[in-house]
Structure 1
Amino acid sequence: MNDTSSRSPRLPLRELLLFAAVAVVVVGVFAVMGGAYATRMLVETACYAILALGLTVQWGYGGQFNAGVMGFVALGGFAATFVSIPVNTAFWASDLPLRLGSVLLAGLAVIALVVAVSRLDRLGVPSWLRTLLAVVVGLVGYLVVISWMRSVAGDIQSRVDFVGGLGLSPLLGWIVGGALAGGMGYFIGRICLGLRSDYLVIATLGIAEIIKAFLKNADWLTRGTATISPLPWPVPEPGDVGFLTARALYLSLTAVMIAVIFFLLHRAYHAPWGRMIRAIRDNETAAAAMGKSITRRHMEIFVFGCILMGIGGAALTSFTGIFDPQGYQPLNHTFLVLVMVILGGPGNNLGTLFGAVLVYIVWIMSGPLALALMQLVTGLGGDWFGWQPGNLDSRALQARVFVIGLLIVTVLRFAPRGLIPEKVARHD
C-alpha cells in the first residue's frame, strides 16, 4: 500500500526562510541608507533579475553557457536609447538620411550577393572556386561599402553631431531591445549551435566585445564616448513627482514585468516543451533517438534567453538615464549575472530571483560597508601606530569583487546546485 502522505506537497520552508532573510536585509538597507537609495537599488536588482532569468533559460533549461551577456545588454540599452530620445530635426532636414540609406542598401546588396555566390555549387561550380569567389566578392564589397560609410559618417558628425532618435515611448524601446538582442542571438545560433558547446562560449564572448566596440566607435550613431543623456522614463520622472515616488513607480513596472516573465517561464517549464528541453539538456543522444530536433530546440532556448537579456538591458539603461558604451563591462553585466544564477540555482526560476536579489544587494552594499570598516581600522591604526593610508574609496570598491568571490566559492563548496536547486519531478 502506497504512503499517500509522502506525496502531499510539503511546505517550502527553505525558500520561505531564505526570502525572509533577504527581506530583513532589504528593510535594513531602507533604514540605514534611506528610501530613495534603497528603491534605486531594488529597481536595478529587478533589471538584473530579468537578465538572470534570461541566462537561467539558456543555461539552466538548455545547458547553453552564454559568456556574452554584456553584448545583449548593450544591444537592449542602445535600442531603448535610439527609440526614446528626441528626433534630431537637423539630420532629417538634410540629405544625410538619403545618403545613409543608400549605403545601408549597398551593404545589404553585398550580403545578398555573397550568399548567392556561396550557393553556386548547386549550378555545378566546384566548391573551391565557389569559396574563392565568395571571399573576393565579400572583400571587395566590404571595402567599397566601408569607404562610403566613412564618408557619410564623417559628414553626419561634422554637420549634425549624430543621427538622433525616434522620440517614441521607452516601452517600445524595451520591446525593440528584446527583438534586436533576439535577432543577434539567432545569428550567433545559426553559426554555433550545431557545434560543440565550447564554440558557443567563444562566439558569445567575442560577439559581446564586437558589439561594445562598434557602439563605442560609431559616434555618428551613438555619440560614442560622449554618451547620450538624459534618457526618458516610461513612468513619471523624478523632476515631476520626486525621486522616491518616481523610483517606486519604476520598481512597480519592473515588478509586473518579472511577474509576467516568471509566470510564462513556469508554465513553459512544466509543459511538454519544457520537459523536452530538459531531456535534451540531460541526454542529447537519447532525445535525438526519440526524433527530437536538437538544433531547433537549442535555437529556441538561446533566442528566448537573449530576448530577456535585451529587455533587461533596455530597462536598466533607461533607469540609469545615460547610454555609455564604455559602461558595459564583463564584470558587471556578465560575471555578476552568472553568479546570480549559480548562487540561486540554475534551472529554478525562484532560485534565480533569490540569487539576483541577494547578489546585487551584496554587490551594492559591500562597498559602503567595506569603506566604513576600513575607516574604523585606519582610525584606530592612526591613533595607535600613526597609519595614514589613502585612497580608501577605491579600495572599498575593489573589496566588492573579493566579497562576491568569497560568496560564490562558499556556495559552490556547500551548495553546488545553488541555494534553491532545481527540483526534478519523479514519476513512478
Structure 2
Amino acid sequence: MHPNDPSLRSFVEVAADSDFPIQNLPYGVISTQDDRRLRVAVAIGDHVLDLGMMEDAGLLPRVSAKPVFRTGSINALMANGAYGIGTVRRKISELLRHDSPTLRDNEALAKRALIPMKNVKLHRPVDVPGYTDFYSSREHATNVGTMFRGKDNALQENWLHIPIGYNGRASTVVVSGTPVIRPQGQLKAAGESMPTFGPSKRLDIELEMGAIVGRATEMGHIMDVDEAQYSIFGFALFNDWSARDIQQWEYVPLGPFQGKAFASTLGAWIVTKEALEPFAVHGPKQDPEPLPYLRQDKPHNYDIRLEVELKPANATRGTIISVSNFKYMYWSSAQQLAHHSSSGCSMSVGDLIGSGTISGPDKGSYGSMLELSWGGKEPIELVEGGTRTFLEDGDTVTLRGYAQGDGYRIGFGEASGQILPAKVK
C-alpha cells in the first residue's frame, strides 16, 4: 500500500487530531537523557521511532555505504536522492502498520525504539548551508507597500514578474524552542536627525513555511520549475523574526540585514513533499504571465492551515492572532527555487528557502504583527486582557500548521520561541 493511503493504521496509538499519523512520518533529530547522541527519528502519534536504532537492527534499507541515521541531521538521507528517500519512507510505513508483525511483535526492540515524545529532546533537523528568504505573498507585499508608499504604489514594478528574495543568515537558523534575544541595532525615530543604538522596539514575527532543498546542483546549472519542485525534499514551519525599526532604517538600498539576521526559528519536524502530495493545489492566477523559466502548469502550492499564537509571560492562555493558509502564496516554492538557480547559483543539500510572510485576504489571516496592528496604529487584543502592537519581552510566539485529509491530518508540530531581553552592556 502507498504510504499516503488514508486507510492505513499503525499499531502505535494515534489520536484522530494528531499531527503525526502513519500517513505523515516527518523527520526530526532527537536525543534522550539516556543516550545523548543525535540521531534521526520519525514522529508517530505521541511517540518517535528512533531510526538510528532501526538502522542498527538491519530493518531499514541501506541507501548508502555509510549509515545515514546517526549523523546528527537528515542531510545524509536527503543526499541519496528521491529513490532512496522513497524506499526508506515505504519501509518505515510498513514497519509501523497495524498488520505488520516485524516491529509490533518484537517487544524488546519496540520498547527501545518507540520513545514517548515527552522523553526526547528535539534538535535542528537539518544542517543549513545556505538560507534565502522570499517576499512572495501578494497580500503581504500589498499591505506593507500600502503602509510605506500608499495604496497606488503598494507593489513595486518588478513584484509581479520576479520572486523577490534576499540571502539570509544560516548561522542563526535555530530549532523550535530556542529563546530569541531581543536584537539591538541602529534606530532612527521620525523627526530625529541622527540614529541611536539600542534594543528594537518593534520586534515582529513572520509566519512562513521553509522548503528544504534535498538535491545539490553545480554552479552554472539552471533549473526549470518542474526540476525545482523535484529538488525540494520537504517543508517545515518557519518564523523569520524581524526587527521592523532596525529594518526600516537599514534596508535602503540593499534590503534587509541586521533586522533579520538575529534569529529564524525552524520547526523540529520536516514533512516530506511526498506526504503533502494529496494537498497540492494551484496557487493564485499569475497576471501578467511569468517569463518562460518561471511558468508552471502543475499544482505547486499546498492547502496547509496555519495559525499564530501569542502568549505573554504571565498568561495562562495564549491568543490566536492569525489563521492563514500556505495556498495563498503568489509565487510557489518551486518558482522561488527555479529563480534562485536562474543566474547559475549552485544549491546545496539542506539549503533553506523561506516562503516569505504568508498573509491571506482578510485581517485575521495576516502573517505579521506589522500588518495585524497596521504599523502599530491598531493594537491586537489579547484574550486575558491587554494588547500588543509588537512583541514584548517574555512573549512566546508559536506557529502551528496542518493539512486536513480524509480522517487524518498531516501536521508540522510547532515552531515556538520566547523573547528574552536584549543583552545591553
Normalised to the residue count of structure 1, the TM-score between the two structures is 0.26
Structure of higher CA gyration radius: 1
Larger fraction in strand? 2
Q: Structure 1 or 2: larger helix share? A: 1
Q: Which has the higher contact order (CA 8 A, sep 6+)?
A: 1
